[in-house]
Chain A
Amino acid sequence: MMCMATFRIPCALLLLALSAPATVAAEDLPGREIAHAQEKGNCLACHRMPTDPGAVTAATLGPVLKNVRERFPDRAALRAQIWDASAKNRDTIMPLYGRHRILTEAEIDLVTDYIHGL
């Protein structure tokens, strides 16, 4: 194929880059930054995430987020919680990230993936 002598090294790098996502740890998911950043999800204002050692917070306002996949086997239900927490609890203090357009749909997908893995 293309991987002839002169291309061997670039090709090897390309293959490495392509294979990288398969080995990413939860902490490297792009949704993590969105979830943590104060000007984005700011989830750490309210939630602890004890399985992510980089999630530094002492928050007590929302439930601890761990074993999330057990609580939400269905990813869509988790996404719905993040999109509009008031659907389940009319008086919720959790911001309505989708309904109030605090995050974009794409950002909510990324955050959901990250949270699902906690």
Chain B
Amino acid sequence: MNRSRLAAVLATFCLLAPLAQAGPEEDRAAFLATFARKLPGVAVDDYVYGSLLDNADARSHYEDIMAFPPFLPDVERGRDLWEKPFRNGGTYADCLPDSGRMIAGKYPQYDPVEDRVITFEMLLNRCRAAAGEPEYGYGDRATMGLLTAYARSLSDGMPMQIRVEGPGALAKYEAGRRLFFRRIGQMNFACATCHLHNAGGVMRMETISPAIGQAAHFPVFRGGETVYTLHMRYIRCMEQVRAQPFPAGSEAFNDLEYFHSYLSNGLPLQASVYRR
């Protein structure tokens, strides 16, 4: 190999090396760097406020609503679902680690035995299945929607701590990442088009939230009344770009949630928040 060839190969290697070692933490750092530019003066801790992050009026309106949330009766119905014993006498609290308190921030998790991503909602359904109860539909607001509105609130304040370790976990994370960056639908948007490249921009009347912080504050009650789990919100955004949405609870969305939740690592979880 002559010298210039060698130099070229070395140069290529040096250029590719950072790509080769790019992983979840590098992704998060890259998102943070982009948001530092797009959202100057906004503290990372405030990203959880989503589209309210840069609007003082909207934030104080939000705080007022959160003092007496109109959806409190819905969360209480969720608590009833949580407390009602299964026919075998067991409860979710019996079934879950730490009685289901301060655990939601560890989900989604990669399960190496099943080689798939397990979301917090799947964990609840696993408890139901183990007790011989029918599973709830992941798109069902009246059951899974309200149950998680309460069950996740038992982890309020817990920092998100998603782990991606080992090649199996990384493959699922990468699958979620690919979906996040893939342009889809007639409008040809990717999640990244809006929630990375145009975060902080205004679409008609709404500020677009940054992807970091989103997964930490779910479910939300839109208009103060309609519960949206994270997957229901994914569906809404996909419909908006006129793409065929994946079903709530699908593997594609579980992987997306895994990637998406990792981005929020370190931010405190809060369940059942108001959104416009």
A contact set with B: CB distance below 8 Å? 44-46, 57-61, 93, 95-96, 100-102
Contact = CB atoms under 8 A, between A and B. Distances in A.
B198 interface: yes
10 contacts: A45-B204, A57-B205, A58-B202, A58-B205, A59-B203, A93-B197, A96-B188, A100-B186, A102-B186, A102-B242
Q: For this complex, into which size category does the number of interface residues on chain B fall?
A: 10 to 19
Contacts of A96: 188
A61 B193 CA distance: 11
Contacts, number: 33
B204 A93 contact: no
B202 A59 contact: yes
A102 B188 CA distance: 11
Nearest to A48: B202
A100 to B, nearest CB: 5
Choose among A44, A95, A96 the residue with the greatest number of B CB atoms under 10 Å from its CB. A95
Contacts of A95: 186-188
A96 B187 CA distance: 7
A60 B200 CA distance: 9
Contacts of A46: 203
A98 B242 CA distance: 15
A58 B203 CA distance: 7
Contacts of B187: 95, 100, 102
For the residues of B in contact with A, the DSSP-based class is loop
A102 B186 CA distance: 7
A93 B205 contact: no
B188 A61 contact: no
Contact of B193 (A57, A59, A93): A93
Nearest to A102: B186
A59 B186 contact: no
A100 B188 contact: yes
Contacts of A45: 203-204
B189 interface: yes
Contacts of B198: 61, 93
B201 interface: yes
A60 B202 contact: yes
A101 B242 CA distance: 12
Contact of B189 (A57, A93, A102): A93
A101 B188 CA distance: 12
B203 A61 contact: yes
A97 to B, nearest CB: 10
Choose among A46, A61, A100, A102 the residue with the greatest number of B CB atoms under 10 Å from its CB. A61
B189 A44 contact: no
Contacts of B242: 102
A11 B203 CA distance: 48
B204 A58 contact: yes
Given A61-B198, A93-B193, A93-B198, A44 B204 contact: yes
Contacts of B189: 93
A59 B242 CA distance: 20
A95 B185 CA distance: 10
A60 B198 CA distance: 9
Nearest to A92: B188
Contacts of B193: 93
A99 B276 CA distance: 34
A45 B203 CA distance: 5
Choose among A46, A60, A93, A102 the residue with the greatest number of B CB atoms under 10 Å from its CB. A93
